[in-house]
Amino acid sequence: MTADESRQRVLSFLSAWRERNLDHLLSFFASDAVYHNVPVAPIVGQAAIRDIFAAFLREFRTASLDVVTAVAEPGLVIAERIDRFESNSGRRIELPVTGVFVLADGKIARFSDYFDLASFERQSGMKL
């Protein structure tokens, strides 16, 4: 993949969160992908990623992953974002996040998000 193709693939994945379609979100991932919210343990494999994304979609009625800046090389994208969520109970979360994406064969092979865990837990009332 070129740098532009890598960047566009990641931006498409991030914007797809607004649709809340689990199968579509997972279509971006390799079968053996790793998803790592860096303050907690990594999740390995598309089935495990499906489980965590499904739980997230059940808890939050809206999700918007808004890109501030994205830089790319072939197969690598770093995206600075503001993630905004609204829980089913009406709690609003606004969280600065930096995501690092490694792509292989057009799919996300590794997705690592770096953020302040305490800020997320305080805003959401959840423990990760």
Q: What is the CATH number of domain 3-124?
A: 3.10.450.50
Put simply, whether the predicted model's pTM sits higher than 0.85 gets the answer: yes
Task: State residue 33's pLDDT score.
Answer: 98
Per residue in 46-71, pLDDT (tens digit) is 999 999 999 999 999 999 999 999 99
Under the banding of pLDDT at 50, 70 and 90, the label for residue 127 is: confident
Task: Tell me the average pLDDT across 111-119.
Answer: 95
DSSP 90: S
Percent of the chain topping pLDDT 90: 95
Task: State residue 59's pLDDT score.
Answer: 92
Q: Hunting for tokens 């009625």 — which residue is that?
A: 61
**What DSSP element (H or E) covers 101?**
strand 92-104
Task: Tell me the average pLDDT across 72-86.
Answer: 97
Cβ partners under 8 Å of residue 43, min gap 6 = 34, 35, 36, 49, 52
Q: Please report, for the chain, the start and end positions of each structural domain, with discontinuous segments joined by +.
A: 3-124
